[in-house]
């Protein structure tokens, strides 16, 4: 960016010129596109206890039944408390996904029949 007074090169983010001290016109900061990645969230529709397994299944693109079976095995096999504690922590930490917007059918135009 060039200074509007002395025409010297200065950094794009500068509010004032380093050389003459004149305030620079506010440039519009570059806007970043919103993050489009997936978020780990509890399911609000496919809920058995709290929606944690369904949230993990949706995040990993796995079948929810597979995740539930793996979680049950995790709860039973290594240390019984580990799966339960992990589920409760996930329940507390993971936000609930918003409800999906229902698809509404377009309303039919009212039928204005004239009777004679």
CA distances from 67 to 42, 56, 61, 63, 93 (A): 13, 7, 10, 7, 18
Length, in residues, of the chain = 116
Domain boundaries, the chain: 38-98
What is the value of pTM for the model shown? Answer: 0.54
Tell me the pLDDT tens digit for each residue of 41-85. Answer: 888 787 888 888 888 898 888 898 998 998 888 888 877 788 888
Query: Percentage of the chain with pLDDT > 70?
Result: 81
């Amino acid at each position: 960016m060039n200074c509007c007074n002395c025409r010297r090169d200065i950094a794009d983010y500068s509010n004032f010129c380093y050389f003459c001290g004149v305030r620079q016109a506010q440039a519009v900061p570059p806007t970043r596109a919103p993050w489009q990645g997936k978020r780990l969230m509890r399911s609000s529709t496919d809920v058995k206890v709290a929606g944690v397994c369904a949230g993990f299944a949706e995040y990993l693109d796995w079948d929810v039944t597979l995740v539930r079976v793996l979680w049950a095995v995790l709860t039973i096999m290594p240390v019984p408390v580990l799966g339960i504690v992990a589920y409760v922590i996930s329940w507390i930490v993971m936000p609930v996904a918003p409800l999906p917007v229902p698809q509404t059918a377009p309303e039919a135009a009212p039928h204005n029949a004239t009777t004679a």
